[in-house]
Structures are given as structure tokens and as C-alpha cells.
């Protein structure tokens, strides 16, 4: 079954300069999405201004969901935004990700019932990130100095099938380049709001999708994004969140109790 309409979900928090670059890369996509949802975990007025400017540059509906900054509460605002998604297919990124021009096209073409997609991510060095933020140039060549993981940065769609992995796996998912069917997301009750602080909300969701019977489609040479360098976030609850992930795996849990709906 093919995608009828795709929603792009962007998670962001207080880095408007990076979000501007994300928006710029969206404007250069070969295939547009039906709508853009911004899940904002409590950013200040600067982010709102960037969003309003972007709205003037695109005909795609842009919806900005925000809640007060009370610490890392990403899952809550992601669930809120996705509760309003009109697309049957969701493409999720972070607000510090520059998209390859074929990024949306690749995710939509590779979408298949019974699967979620883990795309390719190339990490940018601190110096390269600084240069991009200064130049505002979102065209990135894979062989440029400071572009990491060259194979992850290279798009060769005719050879992508050689690297594609379709399997039950959850512990390697990165929410910054992730797509899934909305009905599967609802089927596991969305993100787990009981995960507090940074870390592992993506693999915990992926584990419940696995338990639902949804496989991971891992892509190389397609669905490419470039991750701007930033300092590591505080990880006070990482161990606790990972423990909850392991509980989902071991107990084969499908539904979280406190997700997009409270059960």
C-alpha cells in the first residue's frame, strides 16, 4: 500500500539557527510533504519567530506545538503534535538535521506496510557545522572535509538494495531520521511519557513496534540527513530510561500506559 499523505514531524528545542537550516533544506526537497508539525519542548520566542518566517516561504501547512519548558519532556510534546497529524505516514527528524534534497522522496518510496524506516545519518564536525551556520549553505557534498560517515552521506539509490536490512531490531534506531505508519504508532500508544529526561525514547518506541510485529527497514545510500554538531545533552536519566527499554524487550510489551492516550 502506498503513502496517501506524509506528515513531517520536527522535534526542536532552543536552537533557532539550526532550525532555520532545517527549513531551508525542506524548501529544496524533490517531493513535498502534506504538512509540517513542529514539536517544541519549550523554546523561547526566537524559535516562534523562525517558524513564522518559514510559514511565509512555503505553501505547506506548518503547525507549531509548544509547551512550557519544565525540563526534557520531548515525548509529551511529540505525542501532542502527532495527535493532530493528518498524514497516514509520519517522517520524523530533529531540529538540527539538514536533509538531502531526496530525503522525503526516499522515505515515501521505501515505505511499506509492516515496516518502519531507519534512514542514514552523517555526523558533521564542529568546524564544518560552524562553517554551515555562518554560510547558511545547506548543500553538502559527501567528500567535503568535516562530513563524517562517507557511506551514510552518499546517495546511490540503484545500489541501496545491497545494504538494506529488513529485520526485527530496535536498539539502533535514531529518532532524528525515522519514519512510520501512523496506525502503527497509534497501535503501540505512541511515545512513552513515563520516560523522563534525555535518552532512549526512540528505541523504546521501536521495541514496542517490534513487539507489535513491525520490522525495521534500515536504509543506506538513501534517506540521508546531516547532523549538525552540538555538545552532548545532560543524561541524568539515561540508565533508568534504558532499563525501561529492556523491560519492554523482555516482557514483549506493546502498549505503554502513558502515551498518546492514557490507558
pLDDT digit string, tens, across residues 13-37: 999 999 999 999 999 999 999 999 9
Distance CA 41, CA 67 (A): 6
Specify burial of residue 161 (Cβ count, 10 A radius: 0-12, 13-18, 19+): exposed
- DSSP-derived secondary structure letter, 45: H
Name the residue ranges covered by the structural domains of the chain: 6-251
| pLDDT value at residue 16 | 98
177 confidence band (pLDDT: 50, 70, 90): very high
Confidence of residue 165 (pLDDT cuts 50, 70, 90): confident
User: What is the pTM (predicted TM-score) of this model?
Assistant: 0.96
User: What pLDDT, on the 0 to 100 scale, is given for residue 234?
Assistant: 67
- Selection from 102, 115, 117, 84 nearest residue 9 by Cα: 84
The predicted structure's pLDDT at residue 235:
65
pLDDT tens, residue by residue, 64-114: 999 999 999 999 999 999 999 999 999 999 999 999 999 999 999 999 999
CATH class of 6-251: alpha beta
pLDDT at residue number 183: 98
- Residue 22: name the closest of 5, 35, 9 by CA: 9
- Could you read off the pLDDT of 199-213 as tens digits, one per residue? 899 999 999 999 999
Average pLDDT over residues 138-165: 93
Amino acid at each position: 500500500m502506498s503513502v496517501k499523505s506524509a506528515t513531517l514531524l520536527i522535534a526542536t528545542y532552543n536552537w533557532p539557527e539550526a532550525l532555520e537550516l532545517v527549513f531551508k533544506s525542506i524548501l529544496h526537497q524533490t517531493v513535498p510533504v502534506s504538512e509540517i508539525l513542529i514539536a517544541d519542548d519549550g523554546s523561547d520566542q526566537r524559535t516562534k519567530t523562525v517558524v513564522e518566517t518559514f510559514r511565509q516561504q512555503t505553501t505547506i501547512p506548518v503547525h507549531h506545538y509548544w509547551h512550557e519548558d519544565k525540563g526534557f519532556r520531548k515525548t509529551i510534546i511529540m505525542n501532542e503534535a502527532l495527535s493532530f497529524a493528518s498524514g497516514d505516514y509520519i517522517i520524523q527528524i530533529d531540529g538540527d538535521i539538514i536533509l538531502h534534497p531526496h530525503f522525503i522522496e526516499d522515505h515515501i518510496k521505501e515505505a511499506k506496510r509492516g515496516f518502519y524506516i531507519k534512514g542514514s545519518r552523517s555526523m558533521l564536525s564542529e568546524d564544518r557545522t560552524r562553517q554551515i551556520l555562518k554560510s547558511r549553505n545547506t548543500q553538502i557534498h559527501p567528500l567535503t572535509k568535516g562530513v563524517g560517515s562517507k557511506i551514510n552521506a552518499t546517495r546511490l539509490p540503484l545500489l541501496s538494495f545491497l545494504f538494506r536490512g529488513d529485520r526485527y531490531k530496535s536498539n539502533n534506531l535514531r529518532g532524528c531520521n525515522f519514519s512510520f505508519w501512523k496506525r502503527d504508532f497509534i497501535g503501540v500508544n505512541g511515545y512513552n511519557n513515563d520516560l523522563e529526561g534525555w535518552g532512549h525514547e526512540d528505541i523504546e518506541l521501536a521495541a514496542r513496534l517490534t513487539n507489535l510485529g513491525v520490522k525495521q527497514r534500515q536504509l543506506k545510500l538513501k534517506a540521508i540527513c546531516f547532523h549538525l554538531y552540538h555538545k552532548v545533552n545532560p543524561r541524568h536519566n539515561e540508565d533508568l530510561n534504558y532499563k525501561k527499554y529492556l523491560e519492554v524487550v523482555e516482557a514483549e510489551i506493546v502498549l505503554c500506559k502513558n502515551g498518546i492516550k492514557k490507558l
